[in-house]
Structure 1
Amino acid sequence: MKTFLVLTLAIAAVSAGTIKQKTIHPKDQTSKIEGRITNGYPAYEGKAPYTVGLGFSSNGAGWWCGGSIIASDWVLTAAHCTNNGERVIVYYGATWRTDAQFTHTVSGSDFIQSPDWPNVNGNDIALIRTPHVDFYSMVNKVELPSFNDRYNMYAGWWAVACGWGGIYDGSPQPDWLQCVDLQIISNEQCSQTYGTQPEAILCVATPDGKSTCSGDSGGPLVLQDDAKLVGVTSWVSGNGCQSGDPSGFTRVTSHLEWIRDNTGIAYY
């Protein structure tokens, strides 16, 4: 496996001298999918029509990420996915990764990264302007939280993350879309593992090795009860995806104004 770790965050120490765990961005730099939703379940066709596969390329290198359709001409993903990309193939409506309903190729000039990434933790977010797509059962948008929900931390809520890859560490690498149900935890609880986390980070518990992992970067975390996009897959524990340590997402509610200002998309 050749995994490109874009950024390793500094190891933080608490006052007692205990070393906190480090985190890594799980982007795959390879022509083949090497990542996984670990210990999830196969998605049925049409389960997550807002999920897209993103095949990035630059200077002969390639890497894979996920993303979310948030409008007929916009995809939301992670900044560490778009960073240094010259172009991307967007795979729409795929359950089997490369068997998309259709694809679009988009130039890097249509990538918009958060201006605070990577200097500020919690700003691993980017937009991709795409050609217009029509929505139907296999290809559809996911709604953002409303501005009324921008202070909701969602601790204790259940959400679903989806992406492509194997189902456990060391497994063969199927291309079928996998999903996993994850419970959001408080930032205070997450900080016990990684040191103080800002409000713009959203963490989930990963019991029984259920987690996002390499190749899932940029993909969606969507509330089960409210069907709103609340997280963008950003990082996992440096101990491994199945370590049981929390996984981190960019908190979408922290970026609603930035998304609105760049796309005009907002819910009130």
Structure 2
Amino acid sequence: MKGFGVALFCLVVAVQGRNLDVDGLSGSPAQLGENPWLVHLRVTKLTGGGLLSSSVGSLIGSSWVLTAASAVQDARFVWIRYGAVDPIRPELVTETSTVRIHPEYNAATGENNVALVSINRIVQPTDNIKPVTLAAAGSEIPSSGRLCGFGGENNIPGERLQCLEADLTVEGETITAKGTGSVPSEFDIGSPLVSDGVQYGVLSSVDGTAPVYLKTSLYRAWIQEVTGTIV
């Protein structure tokens, strides 16, 4: 089993990047240290013939990552890459020990599309690796936020992290980043929506030309229950 995991990790997939574009604004390549909480996930699932999939998450403590349930449901192995503006050359790679899907996640509707990934070690903070602060319960959503993603073209995940500021629209439990053209793709599901160093959303879906995020403030109690820490 260990050898199989190592073999999968060593697979190299041809990737191609692209620019993010929201409301006509092209995303800028991210630099190390700008988004130290953002992590790149490579997942192999029990279904899918062992093929690797790509998604994104956020470091919310020394041993937990927050992402989307759809990104890690039925996961067999999850590799977490930190400081990964280029996912092929991360600063640190760890494996997961446990995946916890929200108990009320509905794959058909996308409700409660959040999950927690337990890291198999304590991650020490560096200039390029630091936990994000989660929005407090009842927090007001800012009018704009920072979107980051690796994107993708032709069903191939992108190779360079890019970010931009986008206007936000709130409706019920979701936050939509308004825009047209290329936006974070299906390979960026689970990525954080951040403003001033605080995470307000988790990317749940890419609806047409607009990414849709779930409010993290709604899940603070569940996160605290699972992780055993105050967030």
Please, which of 145, 151, 154 is the counterpart of residue 138 of structure 2?
151
Q: In 2, are the aligned partners of 1:79 and 1:113 still within 8 Å (CA)?
A: yes
Query: Secondary structure at the residue paired with 2:217?
Result: helix
- Counterpart for residue 220 of structure 2: 256
Aligned to 2:159: 175
Structure 1 residue runs of 5 or longer lacking an equivalent are 1-29, 188-198
Distance 2:38 2:222 in 1: 21
**Counterpart among 154, 163, 176 of residue 203 in structure 1:** 176
Counterpart amino acid of residue 117 in structure 2: I
**CA–CA distance in structure 1, aligned partners of residues 219 and 113 of structure 2:** 10
Deviations 1:155-198 (A, max 9, x none): x52111212135xx6699751211121221131xxxxxxxxxxx
Q: Which residue of 83, 93, 115 maps to 1:126? A: 115
Report 1:155-166 matches (<5 A): 157-166=143-152
Contact map agreement 1:121 1:200 (CA 8 A) in 2: no
State the alpha-carbon separation in 1 of the partners of residues 69 and 14 from structure 2: 21
**Are residues 249 and 68 of structure 1, via their aligned partners in 2, closer, same or farther at CA, if it must alter by over 3 Å?**
same
Q: 1:248 to 1:153 in 2, by over 3 A?
A: farther
* 1:34-89 Cα distance to aligned partner (Å, 9 max, x none): 78662222111211011110000134121000000000100000000011110111
Residue 61 (structure 1) aligned with residue 44 (structure 2): no
Q: TM-score, normalised by structure 1?
A: 0.71
What TM-score do you get using the length of structure 2 for normalisation? 0.82
Does the aligned pair in 2 maintain the 1:31–1:63 contact within 8 Å? no
Letter in 2 for 1:204: A
In structure 2, runs of 5+ residues without a counterpart are: 1-11, 22-26
Moved more, 170-179 or 68-77: 170-179
The structure with more strand, counted as a fraction of residues: 2
Q: Measure, in 2, the Cα distance between the counterparts of 1:102 and 1:77.
A: 18
Could you tell me whether the CA contact under 8 Å between 2:17 and 2:158 is conserved in 1?
no
SS at 2:226 equivalent = helix
The root-mean-square deviation of aligned C-alpha atoms, in Å, is 2.5
- Counterpart of 1:222 in structure 2 is 194
Could you tell me whether the CA contact under 8 Å between 2:189 and 2:204 is conserved in 1?
yes
Answer whether contact 1:160 1:221 (CA < 8 A) is retained: yes
Show the counterpart of 1:142: 132
Conserved? CA contact 2:151–2:184, under 8 Å: no
Measure, in 1, the Cα distance between the counterparts of 2:202 and 2:151: 17
Q: How does 1:52-91 map to 2 (within 5 A)?
A: 52-58=39-45, 59-91=49-81
1:115 paired residue number: 103
Question: Equivalent residues in 2 for 1:3-18 (5 A)?
Answer: none
1:180-227 per-position Cα deviation (integer Å, ceiling 9, x unaligned) = 21221131xxxxxxxxxxx322222124x252212110111101xx32
Alignment of 1:233 with 2:215, yes or no, is: no
- Give the ranges of 4+ consecutive aligned residues of structure 1 lying more than 3 Å apart after TM superposition: 30-37, 119-122, 169-174
Structure 2 Cα separation of the partners of residues 219 and 186 of structure 1: 18
Given that 1:232 and 1:249 are in contact with CA atoms closer than 8 Å, whether structure 2 keeps it comes out as yes
